[in-house]
Amino acid sequence: MELTRLLRHTILPDWWVRRVFSRPLLQRLESVIATSESVHLGELRLVVEGNLSLPDLWRGQTPRLRAIDLFSELRVWDTEHNSGVLIYLQLIDRRVEVVADRGIDRRVGRPFWDAVCRQMEDAFRAGDFENGVLLALTTITEALREHFPVPDDKPNELPNAPLLL
């Protein structure tokens, strides 16, 4: 475990995450996710997390492993068309991870997801959190629309509201 990482996660208060991702921004993002899901069979979950727990830090949990855990816990993998996508923002570590179900992942591949993550991280470094997330949602929406076009009647399988941990 890296000492500076431990200090960042234990010293920074949780409220600073809400300062960056305010209630109005979260509501806008929820609306964008709902609109996105109306044009494809995919399901999107956005999770924003500040502090990791001390046990997770001691175990050396990486942002990637945390994203995979959340993908399972939030049942993003359990969509009818195997087209669920989790976008995980670990703000203290300044990392973005995307975990996609096998249906969409086999069609676009890991380089696509890595490029989405790097685009978001670039925007975040510039302090533009909102546009970084919006760009990622737009890019992912286009991929899902191409590979999983929406039929006339599409159920909403997962909540659209971003999850703030």
Low-confidence ranges of the chain (pLDDT < 70): 1
Report the distance separating Cα 89 and Cα 13, nearest Å.
16
Can you give the length of the chain in residues?
A: 165
pLDDT at 144: 97
The dihedral of CA 77, 83, 89, 90: what is its sign?
Answer: positive
Nearest Cα to Cα of residue 49 among 102, 90, 94:
90
Q: What is the CA radius of gyration of the chain?
A: 16
pTM, rounded to two decimals: 0.92
pLDDT at 93: 84
Helix H or strand E segment including 95: strand 95-100
Report the distance separating Cα 152 and Cα 59, nearest Å.
46
pLDDT at 149: 92
